Amino acid sequence: MNDLQWTEIVVFSALFLLVTVLGFVAARWRAGDSLDHLDEWGLGGRKFGSWITWFLVGGDLYTAYTFVAVPALIFGAGAMGFFALPYTVILYPIVFLPLLRMWSVSRVHGYVTPADYVRGRYGSSLLALLVALTGIIATMPYIALQLVGLEAVLRTMGFNGSGVMGHAPLFIAFLILALYTYQSGLRAPALIAFVKDTLIYIVILVAVFYLPSKLGGWDTIFDQAQAKFDASRTPSDGILLNHNNQLQYATLALGSALALFLYPHSLTGILASKGRNVIKRNMVALPAYSLLLGMLALLGYVAISANSTPLTNQATGRPDSNTIVPVLFEQQFPGWFTGIAFAAIGIGALVPAAIMSIAAANLWTRNIYKEYLRRDASPAQEAKQAKLASLVVKFGAIAFIVFVDPQFSIDLQLIGGVIILQTLPAVAISLYTRWFHLWGLVTGWVVGMAWGFVMLYGIPNPAAGKAHFGGSALTFGELSLFGWRPLAGSQVQIYVGFVALVANLLVAALVTLVLRRMRVLNGTDETRPGDYHADEGDPSLKPVGSH
């Protein structure tokens, strides 16, 4: 750490100090009677309007890892990295109506988590537990990945040590995050998201107009990128897809779109909204972030044209591809502007990390602690438990980064998508119908989860030296049904999560048909059809902060 970039560090630290102050001030921003209730601490009082929700949900979905990893993937693999763009375009029409129904039924019954909803819809603590555990497990690597983005910035500024002390700036940043999240709850990331998104928009707009003009224009940039991929020994790389990875691209985009709002942190922002009209306006406005993402993704090609190379991670001795965008900014911009860009990425890690830890803490508190450990817990005790759980989640993510190769955590994020997709029948489809039987959903979840892990285990990544869990792209030729390979020899690839979800749905449907024929009781439903259409001001809504 002898090559510290002091101009960048000073600018970064000043902006980080600003959001720290905002994080603590947020406890009194639009405050209710008390933060000692999950409605207030974990959902911001359920009264965020259109602007706050737009920044909050956008800050939650478009994370520091997204801003670092998408261009890094395009830098390394070309067109496949653009899957993130169509999936954020098709996402909002797909989730528009289900999210309205989820908001309404949750406000009527006071649900805080998707597992709360499943518990009410099917009267099953087991199914709710599976949904809660799935959400927590899938969220943990997502939180760790925010640290990957933040550490990429810190390394580029010179904090690239090889021991535990090399992570000291990261410890300090997340200690501050833990403190103001503990005090302010969801209001902290909601307020900070205004700063984060403003900085991100400024930085990206400057970059996509200034850098091409400096490097000879987009024609030159694309030609140089294609030349690099033509020289690559990996035939799937290029600025265009080939016939083997087109299906993977489509299923990965669709699977990612279906999965995104199943994550508990995504639903947290929606449940914090004050009404259905707020959600409607946000589903229309949020694609503006996709425009930003498309511009940002192109920086992967710009980095090729600029001859940028990733820094070597002193902790592992290998190049860290996530540093490619920070290195590009450091090479092409003056120190003060680079400091602003790094602050935008760093703050972009804090907002989603805070929301994710709050969402995981809510799941633990409502669906494990209260359900199985202390049924008579008061709202104040629930809030206290959630605050403590959020601390455990954050520092667990830090421990993961310190003691496990960060590259493995990136692979875990792919696994996280496969995992959370298995809750789609119980959470999303049940918003419209209870046709699936309770035990069909449980069986489908088990099969989808098990087969998904079996397929992921069998995927190698020779470039990273891994024999297992090397990615999420399954070659048709390797698709095995109890040892039978129906498509042996095919090199066409598909997203594992999509295959596992299809298996989940088929098994759930078959078990449902059998149990319906046997007339087995399908749980008890505490919701009513009208609950799914209630809106702000409806007398059926449960008062915020009530038991």
Higher pLDDT, 321 or 117: 117
Confidence of residue 473 (pLDDT cuts 50, 70, 90): confident
Host domain of residue 44: 6-217+229-237+254-414
Q: Compute, in degrees rounded to 10, the torsion defined by CA atoms 209, 211, 213, 216.
A: -140
Residue 143 lies inside a defined structural domain of this protein: yes
Please determine, for residue 235, whether its predicted confidence score (pLDDT) is greater than 70. no
Task: Report yes or no: 480 and 234 within 8 Å, Cβ to Cβ.
Answer: no
Q: Say if residue 61's pLDDT is above 60.
A: yes
Please report which confidence band the pLDDT of residue 441 belongs to, taking 50, 70 and 90 as the band edges: very high
Taking only the tens place, the pLDDT of each residue in 141-168 is 788 888 888 888 888 898 876 666 566 7
How many other C-beta atoms can be found within 10 angstroms of the C-beta atom of residue 234? Answer: 11
Above 70 in pLDDT, residue 138? yes
pLDDT at 105: 97
pLDDT tens digits along 87-137: 888 888 888 899 999 999 999 999 999 999 999 999 999 999 999 999 998
Residue 522 lies in a domain: no
Mean pLDDT of 185-192: 89
Interatomic CA distance for residues 515 and 354, integer angstroms: 42
Question: Residue 216: what are its φ and ψ, rounded to 5°?
Answer: 105, 10
Most confident option among 120-134, 163-177, 178-192, 195-209: 120-134
Q: What is the pLDDT of residues 396-421, one digit of tens each?
A: 777 777 666 655 555 666 778 899 99
In the predicted model, is pLDDT for residue 15 greater than 60?
A: yes
pLDDT at 502: 96
313 band by pLDDT with thresholds 50, 70 and 90: confident
pLDDT band at 285, cuts 50/70/90? confident
- φ, ψ of residue 436 in degrees (nearest 5): -65, 135
pLDDT the model gives residue 462: 66
In a domain, 156, yes or no: yes
**Is residue 316's pLDDT more than 70?**
no
For residue 494, give the H/E element and its range: strand 493-495
The C-alpha atoms of residue 162 and residue 320 are separated, in whole angstroms, by 13
* Sole residue written with tokens 């959470």: 427
Among 396, 393, 464, 363, which Cα is nearest to 131's?
Answer: 363
Task: Please provide residue 534's backbone torsions phi and psi, each rounded to the nearest 5 degrees.
Answer: -65, 145
% the chain with pLDDT above 90: 41
For the chain, the average pLDDT equals: 87
Q: How many domains does the chain contain in total?
A: 1
Look at residue 233 in the predicted model and tell me its pLDDT: 62
Cα distance from N-terminal residue to C-terminal residue, the chain: 52
The pLDDT value given to residue 77: 83
Residue for token digits 């992570």?
Answer: 167
The answer to whether residue 331 scores a pLDDT higher than 90 is yes
> Does the pLDDT of residue 228 top 70, yes or no?
yes
In a domain? residue 511: no
DSSP 318-333: EE-GGGHHHHHHHHHS
Residue 244 is given by DSSP the state T
Q: Where are the alpha helices (DSSP H) in 216-320?
A: 218-230, 246-260, 264-271, 276-285, 288-297, 299-305
Contact status, residue 223 vs residue 371, Cβ threshold 8 Å: no
Report pLDDT for 214: 92
Q: Residue 360 corresponds to which amino acid?
A: A
Adjacent-strand bridge partners of 493: 475
Rounded to two decimals, what is the model's pTM? 0.91
Q: Kindly state the average pLDDT of the residues 541-546.
A: 80
Q: Which long-range contacts (CB under 8 A, 24 or more apart) does 382-387 make?
A: 382/37, 382/38, 383/35, 383/36, 383/37, 383/38, 383/40, 383/41, 383/42, 384/36, 385/361, 386/38, 386/41, 386/42, 386/358, 386/361, 386/362, 387/41, 387/182, 387/185, 387/361
pLDDT computed for residue 178 by the predictor: 85
User: Could you give the CA distance from residue 338 to residue 12 in angstroms, rounded to a whole number?
Assistant: 9
The Cα 175–Cα 487 span in angstroms is 51
Look at residue 32 and tell me whether its pLDDT is greater than 70: no
Query: Is 169 within a domain?
Result: yes
- How many distinct helices (H) and strands (E) make up the chain? 22, 4
**Position 148 in a domain:** yes
